[in-house]
Amino acid sequence: MVNKTKKKILVVESNKKRKTKLKSEIKKISSQIFFASNHLEALKILNSSNPDIVLLNLSANKLNGFELGKIIKNNYPVKVIGFLNKSDLQNLIRLEQEGFDDVLLYPINNIELEKCLKFLNRKWEDFMEYLDKIRFEYLRYKDVLYDKITGLPTVPLLIETLRKELDKYHTIGVILIDLTKYGKYERAFGWEIIDKIILNIVKILKNFIRNKNIIIANRARGDDILLFIMPDKKKIIDTEELHKLSKKIIDLIIEKIDKDLLLEIGKNFKIYAGTSLIYNDPNSRIERLIYQGIKEAEEVASHFIKIDKEYKISLLKRIIDTKEIDIVFQPVVDIYDKKIIGFEALARDPKNTELRNPEILFNLATEADLVWDLERICREKALNYFKQLKEPFYLFLNNEPEVIYDPRFRSYEIIKKLNGLPENIVLEITERTAIKDFDSFVEAIKYFRSLGFKISIDDAGSGYASLKSIALLSPDFIKFDMNLIRNINNSLVKQNIVRLLIDLAPKINAQVIAEGIETKEELKTIKEFGVKYAQGFYLAYPDKPFPKVDFSKIEWKNL
């Protein structure tokens, strides 16, 4: 017994006897059949009933089946099967050339038709599988061929183009604009602002190279922008000329960059560039010549970065030596009872240099092996201020994980300065770097808890502060990362992460704090989730000790 298919079949046949015979055979394998006697009827059914397969008589003198077949193939997503008389050899050859999906020879029986449909279905499935493979390969190589952020082509895509240019000009200049440091600034300023700055730089460069013999690119999975400079027809490019062009481009970026994007990043906005020349060498592989030129340009840029870093370390050493660092405080607020429960101590460079951002300041201190010295000064100043408070507030003290091992930190230094009252001090573990030895770190935390200190995990949900840290340390407070809170009202992903951490907190006897609240909508969202404590610019800016919160100016309506 033949199983009936669900496919809809349109038969285009003008001969009544054939129609009757075909209907009898097709009914055995399909319950949905449509008949058309001419072009007009066929197109009407195609538009109204969306058949899957068209059976088309190609031998009839009155009906130009080939012409109709072309129209259907070009305009409708259906399979077209032509049927011919066995003696119609001429049209059989033509059908093969015209690209019909299959052919049946008249008289047609249901067994042959079913075999044909099965074959067509198999061919379609094979084609879709082939398309899936192509789509997979495209997605796999897309990130290699085009930069995800800028959309610029990467070097592998340009190899043949650069080969032709080298053959033509013999020498190509390379200017590498190093953006690696912007990746490091993401935690300080957020990836959104960094991406906007990079895109703005690319826009400036694209406008600059317009109508110039310059190719712009990204290195595959690299944090830099590459400009390949072709010489003018009249002269050969040289190192001095390339260096002047590089300086001109850097000056142009600084002049044209959207200044609104730099409000947060401030003096940390610096551009480093390196240059090199690629010479054509018939004895060397073109890929090796290109990548060697890029490497040389990168080394030049790294030299300038190194000089700048050495300057920043000298600034840091001066800050530590003179103790010229400001401590400001930001209130942590109970948004249900509308009261301040504590203050977070934050370090600021008073000279307003590029080290003013604490994320950059402490990252540099960690790299320069000066983090213990820096945190000792910050801790001392924060505690001296805190002793002036008469009400029992919490003091949230930021600590890098490795500072827990500082002998002076462990030798009752804080307790001595607090006259033996540590229960209001919250040691906030800021994981800018990963905790390397969890076992010993957990033991160190237990030691401080035994003295009466409370523990908070900072930047939860940022990637560094993992669920492992929260689970093993069992903190008293879990602070959500400000990038997780930013625009949380518009992000279901962020909302789900926050809900996960909120659900986890009571299981380990922890309270949650939403950090970085900047808008009413963000405050409303986290309050709806049941978050009790919050801090951020919307509530109060960090300031000299001790800022107050003007609860009357906060829009509590509908919160």
Q: Is the same domain home to 296 and 386?
A: no
Q: In the prediction, which pLDDT does 174 show?
A: 94
Look up residue 195 and give its two tokens: 């991406």
The span from the CA of 318 to the CA of 307, in Å, is: 17
SS3 211: coil
The dihedral region occupied by 332, where left means phi > 0, alpha psi between -120 and 50, and beta the remainder, is beta
Look up residue 272 and give its two tokens: 């480093």
Which of 137-141, 318-322, 374-378, 468-472 shows the lowest mean pLDDT across its residues? Answer: 137-141
Q: Give the torsion sign (CA, 406, 412, 413, 418).
A: positive
Look up residue 343 and give its two tokens: 């203050």
Q: In the prediction, which pLDDT does 2 show?
A: 45
Look up residue 256 and give its two tokens: 């044209």
Q: In the prediction, which pLDDT does 184 show?
A: 62
If one counts every other C-beta atom within 10 angstroms of the C-beta of residue 202, the result is 19
Q: In the prediction, which pLDDT does 340 show?
A: 93
Phi, psi dihedral angles at 4 (to 5 degrees)? -75, 135
> What is the DSSP secondary structure assignment for residue 433, as one 8-state letter?
S
Q: What is the pLDDT of residues 226-284, one digit of tens each?
A: 999 988 765 678 888 898 899 899 889 888 888 777 766 665 667 889 999 999 888 88
Does pLDDT of 339 surpass 80? yes
CATH number at residue 257: 3.30.70.270
Last residue of a domain, one of 315, 345, 376: 315
Please give the residue that has the higher pLDDT: either 368 or 125. 368
Q: Is the same domain home to 453 and 501?
A: yes
If one counts every other C-beta atom within 10 angstroms of the C-beta of residue 5, the result is 19
The DSSP annotation for 89-119 comes to HHHHHHHHHHT-SEEEEESP-HHHHHHHHHH
Q: Is the same domain home to 432 and 519?
A: yes
Are 319 and 325 contacting, i.e. CB atoms less than 8 angstroms apart? yes
Q: Is the same domain home to 74 and 173?
A: no
Contacts of 421 (CB under 8 A, 6+ apart): 415
Q: Is the same domain home to 349 and 488?
A: yes
CATH number at residue 14: 3.40.50.2300
The span from the CA of 497 to the CA of 55, in Å, is: 56
Q: Is the same domain home to 305 and 393?
A: no
Give a yes or no: residue 393 inside a domain: yes
Q: Is the same domain home to 488 and 375?
A: yes
Does pLDDT of 180 surpass 50? yes
CA angle 116, 122, 127 (to 5 degrees): 125
The residue count of the chain comes to: 559
Does pLDDT of 551 surpass 60? yes
Q: Give the torsion sign (CA, 84, 85, 86, 91).
A: negative
Q: In the prediction, which pLDDT does 175 show?
A: 94
- Beta strands 326-334 and 533-535: pairing type? antiparallel
| Mean pLDDT of the chain, nearest integer | 80
Last residue of a domain, one of 77, 110, 140: 140
Q: Is the same domain home to 521 and 388?
A: yes
Give a yes or no: residue 159 inside a domain: yes
Give a yes or no: residue 361 inside a domain: yes
Q: In the prediction, which pLDDT does 413 show?
A: 61
The DSSP annotation for 142-179 comes to HHHHB-TTT-PBBHHHHHHHHHHHHHHHSEEEEEEEE-
Edge-first strand order for the sheet with 33-36 is 33-36, 9-12, 53-57, 79-85, 102-106
How much of the chain, in percent, has pLDDT values that exceed 70?
A: 77
Mean pLDDT calculated for residue range 340-363: 81
Does pLDDT of 417 surpass 70? no
Q: In the prediction, which pLDDT does 127 show?
A: 47
CATH number at residue 481: 3.20.20.450
Per-residue confidence band for 1, with pLDDT thresholds at 50, 70 and 90: very low
Does pLDDT of 46 surpass 60? yes
The span from the CA of 161 to the CA of 454, in Å, is: 62
Burial 183-199, CB ≥16 within 10 A → b, else e: eebebbbbeebbeebbe
SS3 30: strand
Per-residue confidence band for 345, with pLDDT thresholds at 50, 70 and 90: very high
Q: In the prediction, which pLDDT does 328 show?
A: 92
Give a yes or no: residue 125 inside a domain: yes
Are 14 and 40 contacting, i.e. CB atoms less than 8 angstroms apart? no
Q: Is the same domain home to 205 and 308?
A: yes
The span from the CA of 427 to the CA of 475, in Å, is: 10
Cis peptide before 66 (omega within 30 of 0): no
Please give the residue that has the higher pLDDT: either 345 or 185. 345
The span from the CA of 401 to the CA of 437, in Å, is: 10
Per-residue confidence band for 208, with pLDDT thresholds at 50, 70 and 90: very high
Q: Give the torsion sign (CA, 518, 523, 524, 525).
A: positive
Look up residue 9 and give its two tokens: 């079949």
Mean pLDDT calculated for residue range 339-343: 93
Domain that holds residue 373: 323-553
Last residue of a domain, one of 114, 140, 166: 140
Q: For residue 448, how many C-alpha atoms fall within 13 Å in the half-sphere facing its CB?
A: 29
The span from the CA of 89 to the CA of 84, in Å, is: 9
Give a yes or no: residue 2 inside a domain: no
Give a yes or no: residue 478 inside a domain: yes
Q: Is the same domain home to 394 and 528?
A: yes
Centroid of chain to Cα 191? 8
Q: What is the pLDDT of residues 427-461, one digit of tens each?
A: 888 765 556 677 778 888 888 888 888 999 887 76
Range 379-384, long-range pairs (CB < 8 A, 24+ positions) = 379/409, 379/413, 379/414, 380/417, 381/323, 381/325, 381/327, 382/327, 382/345, 383/414, 383/417, 383/418, 384/417
Centroid of chain to Cα 157? 22
Nearest by Cα to 398 from 378, 413, 421, 372 = 378
The span from the CA of 203 to the CA of 508, in Å, is: 49
Domain count, the chain: 3
The span from the CA of 241 to the CA of 413, in Å, is: 59
Please list the alpha-helical segments (H only) found in 323-423: 358-367, 371-386, 407-410, 413-417
Angle in degrees, 0-180, between the axes of helices 286-322 and 155-169, rounded to the nearest 10: 110
Q: Is the same domain home to 36 and 177?
A: no
The span from the CA of 151 to the CA of 143, in Å, is: 9
Q: What is the pLDDT of residues 124-163, one digit of tens each?
A: 455 456 556 655 665 566 666 788 788 888 888 888 889 8
Mean pLDDT calculated for residue range 516-542: 92
Give a yes or no: residue 446 inside a domain: yes
Q: Which helix (H) or strand (E) holds 449?
A: helix 438-450
One-letter amino acid identity for 58?
L
Burial 367-388, CB ≥16 within 10 A → b, else e: ebebbbbbbbbbbebbbebbee
Q: What is the pLDDT of residues 371-411, one digit of tens each?
A: 888 988 888 888 888 888 878 899 998 887 777 777 777 66
The span from the CA of 485 to the CA of 464, in Å, is: 16
Q: Is the same domain home to 311 and 331?
A: no
Does pLDDT of 529 surpass 70? yes
Are 11 and 78 contacting, i.e. CB atoms less than 8 angstroms apart? no
Give a yes or no: residue 146 inside a domain: no
